[in-house]
Structure formats: C-alpha cells, structure tokens
Amino acid sequence: MAPHRTRFGSLAHYDKGGVEVIKDDPRNYVFSNVFEVASKAKPYEKVAVGKNIEYVIEAIRAEGTSGWRVAAQDEFALVMDGEVEVRLVKPDDPATGSGGQPRLDSARDRPHGSEDGPRSRAARSHDALARRSGLPVPRRAARGDPAADPGRTRHGGALGRDLSDDAAAPGLSEEDDAMTTDTVPELGSIEPNQHGYRTFTLGKFTFSRDQYFVHVRWPNGTHMLAADAFLRAIQRDVAWGFFYGIVNFDTVIGTVNHYGTVDLFAGRFNAQYRQAGLDYSENFKSDAISRLFEAILADWTNATFDPFASPEETGSAFGPKNGSNKRAITRHRVTAKRMIGAPGDEPIRTDDNGFPINRHFTDVSQEMPDVHAEPGFEDQVVSVNLFAYLSRSDVTWNPSVVSVCKNSLYCPTTEEYILPIIHGNDRVEWFVQLCDEIEWEVEDRDTGAVRARVTMKAGDVAAMPADIRHRGFSPKRSMLLVWENASPELPELYASGKMPPAPVQF
C-alpha cells in the first residue's frame, strides 16, 4: 500500500476549499486561503485573514527583508512555506541607536551578524526534506519585559482544567427549564449488571450500558447511543472542562457550560423535542458532573478501547466488561501558559518522552528551527517546529493550548474520522487548516436545521459564527489550528445580541 502523504499548501501550490450553502450567507464564514492572500499581497504587507474581536491573524508573504516591527504584546509567527530568518533586537538598547522608539529602519542597513539581540530562523521550505516551522516569541522575550513572567493571569474559561468558577456566563441559559441539583452525585450502583457494567445516576438522569449501547433515562424520556460514541464524547467533555458553550453528544443528549455549573440536557437543542415539550435539563456543579463522567469512563472503557484514538488505532469498545484503560482516559492535557517549548512551560514531544510520529505523518519534517541567542537572552527566544509537534500527537479531536496572548489561545489538534461531539458555539471560533482536509457540517445551534457545509484544505481560514453547531469529518489524519477567544464576557455579549454572531460585517 502506498505510504500516506501529508498535503501541505505552499505559495506555489495550494487547493482551496469553500462554503457550500444550504441555508446561510457564505460571508458568515469569512473564508480565505493564506497562500492565495499572500501571493496577491506585496512583500511583508500584513493582510488580516482572521479577526476575533481585538485579536488578529495576518497573512504575510516574507520576501526579501522587511522593515523593523515593534509589537505591544506577544506575537506568534507560523511559517507555512519556505524559510524565514527573524532577527530580534532590544528596542531600547542604546547600541541600536533607537532610543526606545520603534525601529522603522530596514534590516538591510545593518550588517549581518551584528545584532545586539537574539536571532532565530524559523523556517519551513517547500520541499519535505527541509520542512520546518516556528513560533517565535518576539517582543517581550527580546525586551525582557517583566510582564511576560509566567506568574501572570492564566486564561480562564474552558479548554483547560483550571476553570474559573466565578466566571458564570449567563449566555445560553434557559434557567426556567433547568432545575439546579446541588448534591454530590451518588455515583454508580455497587453491583454490575449482567454485562459487567455499573449503572450511574446524577440528579434525575440515569446512565447504563450493555454490550453495544448506552441507555440514558430522565423523568419523561429515554435515549440510546452507541457505547464507543458516548465514551468518545464524555472523554472530550471532561478533558476540555465542558468546552465553550454546548457539547452535544448527539442530537439529543449533551451539556451546556455555564463556567462553574453545567446543564445536562435531553432534547434541548432539538426542534422536535422542544415543540413536543419533551426537552429536559438539570444544572449541576461542574465538579459533580466531571466526577460522574470520570467514574463512567473508568468503569465502561474496556482494556481494548482508547476514546481519544482514531478507530483504526484502537480496539473495540463493545462486548461484556473487559478490564479498564486508565492510561488512556487520564492523559495529561496540554495547556501552555505562554508557549510550548518555552522554559518552564509545556515541553515539545519526542520519541524519548513517549510521542512517536503518527503513522499518517511519517513524511513530516522533524527539523528544528535554529535559534541563536546572544548572551543573556538564551531563555527568552523560543521557536519550535509546530508541524513536528503535531505529527507526534497521540490523540484525535483534542485541541491543546500551544500559545497564549491574553485571551487569544492557539489550540491546534490532529483530526481523523469524526469529531466525537457536535459543538454548539457560545462565541465565534476560527479555524486554520494546517494540512490535509476536513469537512464541516454546520447546523443551527438551537434547532439543528442544516445551514452549510464547509470544506477546508491546507491554508484555508474560516470563522464559525456564534450561533451555529458543527461537526468535522477528516478522512485522513490532518492538522487543524483552532483559534479561541477565551474572554469570559463573550457568551453574554453574543446571547444578549450586543455582538452579532458573525465576526466581520461586510
């Protein structure tokens, strides 16, 4: 069989996906391709391809030498094609003659090798052999700004395990429907059923499983889900701290995050259940529902099954109870404080620390960027090969926080098969497809009515509006950058209509 080929884009060759509209306005998705944008721009012209309130992603064609740039906060650069040398100088160093002012002179005016700050070459060339990428940390690193200390405020909200319990977001709340149950859950039954699995109760919800299915019961309804799909879904829900907004396990069951408490619901985002008056919700402390899902995962995940793995990389979830897989369900979740690879932050992945290259990414270059720091700057310049990092991910559909600037989080992930949840947004999200291809099914968040199908290929950028829900399909393992704005104000701003659901008004 032919080996897998990873399809990156380049200025010389890129394919562009697009938005297939069913009932929508394609402008809601602000769809573009960084290679197309960069190829039409002037060298070093910054063209915004993504805008998440005050945060921006710009596409730049690096060609020749740029002028000097000074940023007021961290900036993260990702080289998608070719090779770029980034020189960093300390702007207030008298040796540069800049006197603390932004330097606008050209690097060309200065002889090579005479930099007074560090230098890093973050590169990725067209050919697979020399392919590299980097995420340098320029401004505060080079200037040694004390504000960059790792002790600063962590990002709140979802996606980490460090949830801020006080940041209750009223968005999406339909409290009239939801009864709050404040008790510690009585977890599982003591006795296993005839298949060997325990039954679990939280509030008025009961969860049981047989050899193929999970059965959910609530006061006025019942529902069945396949056991593998259910375990994949609750594994994401607990790992992500209930994520942003709504995590639908399927079109009936799921959770709504209120950042401190969580609603467990049946039929709430399903037009037919709602019309029939059969939807049901209960509100729990986040901690209680986490402990319930963790207990279910521990009891119902057989030794042969890994809920984070793609179907081709795991054994069966089915059959009578057969051991457990604690290692798979308690993985460390990567949430960088500033950037992976930075001193004291999340380490990069290697064979030695247990992250071999995935079978679909054996052609991804592992070459590391060259970093030359002047004495005194050694711990302030960081550049890593992000594609190499992702090629070694051992999980699918599990965004990890690799770089942070205030509330702007870069959460790349590797995807294969189907996103195990249908995610309902409480804010705008952005996607940058880094390689290969994903198709997104997009529906109305509240009713489930189909809106659009978005195909993303390497270099494509798209927004997902604040009022949708979506599910991704990735035929081959691919790399996706999910860009989140973790600001705790956002759910209320969108829910109250103070902010429009699409990120850009044309």
Which residues sit at the interface with ligand PHB, rule CB under 6 A?
A: 397-399, 413, 415, 419, 423, 429, 480, 482
| Residue, CB closest to ligand PHB | 423
CB of 183 to Fe ion, least distance (A): 31
Task: Pick between residue 205 and residue 397 the one whose CB is nearest to ligand PHB.
Answer: 397
CB of 440 to Fe ion, least distance (A): 9
Which residue type is seen at 56?
Answer: V
The residues that bridge with 372 in the sheet, in sequence order, are 119
CB of 469 to ligand PHB, least distance (A): 9
386 binds, among Fe ion, ligand PHB, none (CB under 5 to 8 A by kind): none
Q: Which residues of 353-364 are buried (b: 16+ CB within 10 A; e: fewer)?
A: eebebbebbeeb
How many residues can be counted in the chain?
506
419 binds, among ligand PHB, Fe ion, none (CB under 5 to 8 A by kind): ligand PHB
Give SS3 for 321. Answer: coil
CB of 428 to Fe ion, least distance (A): 10
Phi-psi map region of 490: left, alpha, beta (phi>0 left; psi -120 to 50 alpha): alpha
Nearest C-alpha neighbor of 178 from the set 155, 203, 200: 203
399 binds, among ligand PHB, Fe ion, none (CB under 5 to 8 A by kind): ligand PHB
Task: Pick between residue 429 and residue 437 the one whose CB is nearest to Fe ion.
Answer: 429
Q: Which tokens go with 55? A: 């945060």
Q: What angle do CA 249, 251, 253 make, to 5 degrees?
A: 50
Q: Does 87 bind Fe ion (CB under 5 A)?
A: no
Stretch that binds Fe ion, among 107-115, 145-153, 416-424, 472-480 (CB under 5 A): 416-424
Task: Pick between residue 30 and residue 86 the one whose CB is nearest to ligand PHB.
Answer: 30
Exposure of 266 in the CB half-sphere (CA atoms within 13 A): 19
Q: Which residues of 2-30 are buried (b: 16+ CB within 10 A; e: fewer)?
A: eeeebebbbbeebebbbbeeeebeeebbb
482 binds, among ligand PHB, Fe ion, none (CB under 5 to 8 A by kind): ligand PHB
- Chain centre to alpha carbon of residue 114: 39
CB of 287 to Fe ion, least distance (A): 24
CA distances from 15 to 9, 36, 362, 382 (A): 7, 9, 22, 31
Task: Pick between residue 90 and residue 469 the one whose CB is nearest to ligand PHB.
Answer: 469
Phi-psi map region of 66: left, alpha, beta (phi>0 left; psi -120 to 50 alpha): beta
CB of 426 to ligand PHB, least distance (A): 11
Rounded distance between C-alpha atoms, residue 94 and residue 54, angstroms: 32
CA distances from 499 to 170, 175, 334, 410, 496 (A): 15, 22, 31, 22, 8
228 binds, among Fe ion, ligand PHB, none (CB under 5 to 8 A by kind): none
Q: Does 236 bind Fe ion (CB under 5 A)?
A: no
- Chain centre to alpha carbon of residue 477: 15
Task: Pick between residue 429 and residue 467 the one whose CB is nearest to Fe ion.
Answer: 429
Q: Does 423 bind Fe ion (CB under 5 A)?
A: yes
487 binds, among Fe ion, ligand PHB, none (CB under 5 to 8 A by kind): none
CB of 399 to ligand PHB, least distance (A): 5
Nearest C-alpha neighbor of 232 from the set 308, 130, 327, 323: 308
CB of 192 to ligand PHB, least distance (A): 32
Task: Pick between residue 24 and residue 299 the one whose CB is nearest to ligand PHB.
Answer: 24
Task: Pick between residue 89 and residue 452 the one whose CB is nearest to ligand PHB.
Answer: 452
Task: Pick between residue 89 and residue 247 the one whose CB is nearest to ligand PHB.
Answer: 247
Residues lying near Fe ion in the complex (CB under 5 A): 423, 429
